[in-house]
Amino acid sequence: MKDQIITKKILNWYDLNKRSLPWRKNVSQSKKHYYTLVSEFMLQQTQVKTVIPYFNNFVNKIPNLKKLANVKDSKLMKCWQGLGYYSRAKNLKLTAKKILIEYEGNIPNNIQDLKKLPGVGEYTSQAIMAIAFNKPVIPLDGNVERILKRLLYLKKINEVSKNYLNKKKKIFGKSKRASDYAQAIMEIGALVCKPIIPSCQICPLIKNCKAYKKKDFVLKAKNKFNKTKYFETNIYKHKNKYLLIKNKKFNFLKNLIIFPMREINKDQFKISLNKKINVKMSNMNMKIIINNNKKKKIIKDSFMLDKSNINRYAIPSFTKKIFNSISNFS
């Protein structure tokens, strides 16, 4: 009975307060499945407000699974340009191909088969099951974790593990509107039960929340550590054109366009007197020395690019940042 009350509260709040998001449009079933797949890949490690314009552009240029499976890599990367985590785009295309070949073009509707798809893990498989197929599954994302920790006042180390939190999801119960219900819980986490200052007075779960009763909303901090790596990049400019290469050397930004560069050690970075910049990637901090080379080197997979044509290519924000930092080079 208590589960049913919580379920009703959450859905009532969602019906009144849910955001209008492009992947929530009332569309055909096949399109909903495709929209869910694309949006969930994009939402891995990226906020909703950032994803929205990229999603709209992506489904406009690549409107269905078949076109995604057969799209040229250059067009795919152009559509993904600026979102980062480019391996997601590659896995999304591989997933589309696998679905066409092994599942007759239908996205699998069970966890086991979904997790066999490239780039689909525990959370993404659960999200697709709930949102696309209306199955009674609550995906455990950061928003749901935060609600559980406050609702049940979970503070101990063993209480904030994913395994423990997955077991505690049962407090939410089930709903016939499973798709809406899963999104509703995540929506409360995103809009109400926010990390720093939660908006408790408008929360539908305020009467059930132990953290609210104790007036203690502090969450156990996760230790995040991004390793710092050091690089040296060489800039060659001739008649307003710059030498660029297709990256085949580094695992990050694989097959994307970058300036020629090599990894160096911390001491080499420190002693250099040349221009230096910092670039924060999703999984590391990059400290880069920028060298202005007068002589052009012959490099495999290299080409000359006019800066004015930068938007015609799938150039990552990483490379654009270097472009911006070298505007004073002659």
Q: Please give the Cα distance from 80 to 127 (Å, whole number).
A: 21
Residue 304 predicted with pLDDT over 60: yes
Provide mean pLDDT across the span 144-160: 92
Q: How far apart are CA 6 and CA 106, in angstroms?
A: 34
The boundaries of the domain holding residue 317 are 227-325
Q: Which of 8-17, 281-290, 315-324 has the highest mean pLDDT?
A: 8-17
Could you tell me if 141 and 256 lie in one domain?
no
**Could you tell me where the DSSP H helices lie in the chain?**
2-17, 29-42, 48-61, 65-70, 73-80, 87-102, 111-114, 122-133, 142-151, 162-168, 178-191, 210-214, 266-271, 317-325
Asked if 148 and 171 sit in the same domain, the reply is yes
Most confident of 20-24, 45-49, 87-91, 263-267: 20-24
Please confirm, yes or no, whether 40 is among the known catalytic residues. yes
pLDDT digits (tens, 9 = 90+) for 256-272: 888 898 999 989 988 88
Query: Under the phi-then-psi rule, with left for phi > 0, alpha for psi from -120 to 50, and beta for the rest, what region is 34?
Result: alpha
The enclosing domain of 240 has a CATH number of: 3.90.79.10
pLDDT at residue 224 above 70? no
Please name the helix (run of DSSP H) or strand (run of DSSP E) that holds residue 290, with its range, or none.
strand 284-293
Q: Rounded to whole angstroms, how far apart are CA atoms 292 and 326?
A: 9
Q: Average pLDDT, stretch 70-89?
A: 90
Write down the pLDDT at residue 174: 92
Chain centre distance of CA 40: 8
The CATH number given to whatever domain includes residue 78 is 1.10.340.30
More confident residue, 283 or 176: 176
pTM of the model: 0.74
The answer to whether residue 16 sits within a structural domain is yes
- The CA–CA distances, whole Å, from 173 to 154, 179, 184 equal 19, 13, 13
Q: Where is average pLDDT lowest: 25-29, 75-79, 110-114, 292-296?
A: 292-296
Q: Residue 185 falls within a domain, yes or no?
A: yes
101 domain residue, yes or no: yes
Which range is least confidently modeled, 50-64, 207-221, 224-238, 262-276?
224-238
Question: How many Cβ atoms from other residues are within 10 Å of residue 29's Cβ?
Answer: 9
Q: pLDDT value at position 106? A: 96
Same domain, 261 and 301: yes
Give yes or no for residue 61 having a pLDDT over 60: yes
* 34, 152, 156, 159, 217 from 221: Cα distances, Å: 35, 17, 12, 13, 12
What's the average model confidence in pLDDT over 109-131?
Answer: 95
Number of domains in the chain: 2
- Catalytically annotated residue among 40, 145, 187, 232: 40
